[in-house]
Amino acid sequence: MNKQKKELYNILKFPLLFTFIMWGVKLVEVYSDVSFVDYGVLPRNFSGIKGVLLSPFIHKDFKHLINNTFPIIVLGSLLCYFYKKNYRSIFPMLYMVSGILLWGIGRTSFHIGASGIIYALASFIFFSGLISKNKNLAALSLVVIFIYGSLFWGLFPIQLEMSWEGHLSGFLSGLIFAWFYKDELPKRKKYQWEIDEEIEAELLKNNQQDFYYTLKNEDKPN
């Protein structure tokens, strides 16, 4: 496996594995004629906290599943690409915190689906792009938000059958961890002319200091 293929494999393996499990769970439901909805997040109910781990893999129907598949692959790949060293710690934190927030603020109903994870990833990538001034991150996140058109409006209780609390929980967790990881974010790439200007400024500063030191010594009485 050459270097390019290995890098592509490392970027895609995690989001593809996640979506594979999502589809596997739905196929088991369909062909076994069972429903896993009761394994979703049931807010403020001790038995419903298991949904923090399980609910992202459970979907109402294939339309729900398909709508979540593309954003998971794209945003998950972006996370793995831009955060090669940290995505193994970032993703579990986003996953758990978004689920716990939902368990704390959600309506008393079963909440299922990977939408909360999608909002967490989009929020993290977008705000980390702003914080790090990495325009590529922010631009790519905005493209995904545009494609996933209802993303912004999903933060508000407009459609009662939709878990807007899950979306909001994911959004907030992404914002929190974008700030938490601000010192480890990929920095904006500097152009050569910017580097040259910084070197010139540093040289000018050193020359001024040397000139001041020389004048100071010349003014001293013999």
186 with 131: CB under 8 angstroms?
no
Does residue 194 sit in the same domain as residue 178?
Answer: no
Query: 201 and 177, same structural domain?
Result: no
pLDDT the model gives residue 132: 76
Residues 164 and 207 in one domain: no
- Domain match, 124 and 218 both: no
Q: How far is residue 83 CA from its own chain's centroid?
A: 10
The candidate with the shortest Cα–Cα distance to 58, out of 120, 119, 110, 123, is 110
Q: Which residues pair with 41 in a beta bridge?
A: 111
- Which pLDDT value is given to residue 148? 61
pLDDT at 217: 55
Q: Which long-range contacts (CB under 8 A, 24 or more apart) does 89-92 make?
A: 90/124, 90/177, 90/181, 91/14
Q: Are residues 48 and 90 in the same domain?
A: yes
Q: Hey, what are 98's tokens?
A: 């978004």
Q: Which amino acid is at 140?
A: L
Beta bridge partner(s), residue 111: 41
C-alpha span between 177 and 128 (Å, rounded): 9
- A 10 A CB-CB count for 16 gives 15
Tell the burial category of 4 from Cβ atoms under 10 Å away from its Cβ (0-12, 13-18, 19+).
Answer: exposed
In tens digits, the chain (222 residues) has pLDDT values of 577 888 888 899 999 999 999 999 999 999 999 999 999 999 999 999 999 999 999 999 999 999 999 989 989 998 998 888 889 999 999 999 999 999 999 999 999 999 999 999 988 988 888 887 777 777 776 776 676 656 777 788 877 778 999 999 999 999 999 999 887 766 555 545 545 556 666 666 665 555 454 545 555 555
pLDDT at 205: 64
Determine the pLDDT at residue 127.
Answer: 86
Q: Do 144 and 62 belong together in one domain?
A: yes
Do 159 and 195 have their domain in common? no
Distance CA 165, CA 187 (A): 32
What does the pLDDT read at residue 18? 97
Q: Indicate whether 106 and 202 sit together in one domain.
A: no
* Residue-range definition of the domain harbouring residue 69: 3-184
Please report which helix (H) or strand (E) contains residue 104, including its range. Answer: helix 87-105
Residues 42 and 61 both lie in one domain: yes
Whether the Cβ atoms of residue 7 and residue 75 lie closer than 8 Å to each other: no
Say if residue 195 is in the same domain as residue 177: no
Indicate which CATH number applies to the domain containing 165.
1.20.1540.10
Find how far residue 194's CA is from the centre of its chain.
29
Task: Give dist(CA 216, CA 218) in Å, integer.
Answer: 5
Task: Give residue 68's pLDDT.
Answer: 93
In the chain, how many domains are there?
Answer: 2
Amino acid found at 42: L
Residue 131 Cα to chain centre, angstroms: 13
Based on the domain organization, do 68 and 161 belong to the same domain? yes
pLDDT value, residue 211: 47
User: Do 40 and 60 belong together in one domain?
Assistant: yes
